[in-house]
Amino acid sequence: MKTRLALYVHIPFCVRKCRYCDFLSMPAADGEKEAYVRAVRQEIQNIAQREDVCGCLSRYEVCSVFFGGGTPSLLKEGQLEGILAVLRQCFAFGAGAEITVECNPGTLTKDKLLEYRRAGVNRLSLGLQSADNHELALLGRIHTWEDFLSTYRLVREAGFGNVNVDIMSALPGQTTFSYERTLQQVIMLRPEHISAYSLILEEGTPFYEMYGEGRRESGGFCEPRAGEGKTSVPIAEPLPDEDAEREMYARTGEILRGAGYHRYEISNYAMPGRECRHNICYWDGTEYIGFGVGAASLFCGCRHTNEREFSVYKDRVQRGLSVRTQSVLLSEKDRMEEFMFLGLRMMRGVSKEEFHRRFGRTMEEVYGAVLKKYLGLGLLMQEGGRVFLTERGIDVSNMVFCDFLLDV
């Protein structure tokens, strides 16, 4: 039986940066996008031919591919299909491999969707974030709720039967009522999967400048009005307070469970059998290889991160040089820590038997005191040889995860 392998392709292009986004993404002209696609295709071939990789690839079978960004659906027709063709030439794909493309409303056409189907894409992830047009404008999104509905209709008409919708809570000016309205409107569309994340203020983003470092009650700005040149128009849209944020979080689970979605990870809900296989690979420690600027890999016991400078990445590949990467050999300590705090993000938790198989020690030998502490506090439970977070544990999961970092 072959070992599972996941593949990730980073497409760093977007129409414009959203105000909360700290992902490696940027607007670019068509020529830059074409040059980047050529570089990614060459990188895939280079890695597959590397002596330390090609010698063991026969043991692996691709179980999932994920095109993330940025906005992969900004690529022109034929570009994504071309990348997938090179992946299939270089790697053995398992039957029924999950192939996902992240898409933003307004960037898809009927012809693109037909191309995706032809190339074997079988899952789409649509970035909605909110069904409220005012909230979308504050986020800096390029679409409206009506744009999203048009895109969703195109996706279904093209025959896609596995669709994720991303939504966000704790947005500026958002109320529990407006958030519940977003949930209900999304549920009416019956996507197979819903990812529901709370807004995080990331350093270096416009939202961090507005709201970070104790500026929670600050206002933001909106786009310049016609005739006002570059002058921003101030607005007064504070973030929801902590009580409102907790209420939104609780209502997410209640409303989605009532609509037939089961929670399988802290922020992810799916209809039965429609869990995102690619993300589960990250959480359960499956090896993966990332392609493109800034992409990460976990392969052969090492973590690798590609060059994050777009021009340097492209130049090196075009000159026939290897992509410059930072590589870290994971110690057993690193691997045990990741097994626990990534695995505990899943509602099914972590397997004691699998821990012993991987590390040759029981979970109690390594984490006995931590397990005793959180089992006693009612933040962890154990059943059927698995350890998992309770509902109360999910609420304070970051605190719990920190205790699974081992002392040196």
Mean pLDDT, residues 341-366: 96
> Would you place residue 408 in the very low, low, confident or very high pLDDT band (cuts 50, 70, 90)?
very low
Q: Which of 143-181 are b and which e, b meaning 16 or more Cβ less than 10 Å from the residue's Cβ?
A: bbbebbbebbebbeebebebbbbbbbbbbbbbebebbbe
- Of residues 182 and 301, more confidence is placed in 182
Whether the predicted pLDDT of 220 surpasses 80: no
Whether the predicted pLDDT of 229 surpasses 60: no
Q: Kindly tell me the sign of the dihedral angle through the C-alpha atoms of 323, 329, 334, 340.
A: positive
Place of tokens 């040196």: 408
Which residues 6+ apart lie within 8 Å of 329 measured at CB? 301, 302
Measured distance between the N- and C-terminal CA atoms of the chain, rounded to whole angstroms: 36
> Would you place residue 321 in the very low, low, confident or very high pLDDT band (cuts 50, 70, 90)?
confident
Mean pLDDT, residues 324-330: 89
Mean pLDDT, residues 141-167: 97
Q: Report if pTM > 0.85.
A: yes
Whether the predicted pLDDT of 93 surpasses 70: yes
Mean pLDDT, residues 151-170: 98
Task: Give residue-wise pLDDT tens across range 231-289.
Answer: 444 455 889 999 999 999 999 999 999 999 999 999 999 999 999 999 999 999 999 99
Neighbours of 344 (CB within 10 A): 24
Q: What is the pLDDT of residue 51?
A: 64
Whether the predicted pLDDT of 153 surpasses 60: yes
Range of lowest pLDDT (90-104, 111-125, 229-243, 388-402): 229-243
> Would you place residue 323 in the very low, low, confident or very high pLDDT band (cuts 50, 70, 90)?
confident
Q: What is the pLDDT of residue 58?
A: 82
Q: What is the pLDDT of residue 180?
A: 98
Task: Give residue-wise pLDDT tens across range 369-380.
Answer: 999 999 999 999
Task: Give residue-wise pLDDT tens across range 40-50.
Answer: 999 999 888 87
Mean pLDDT, residues 164-185: 96
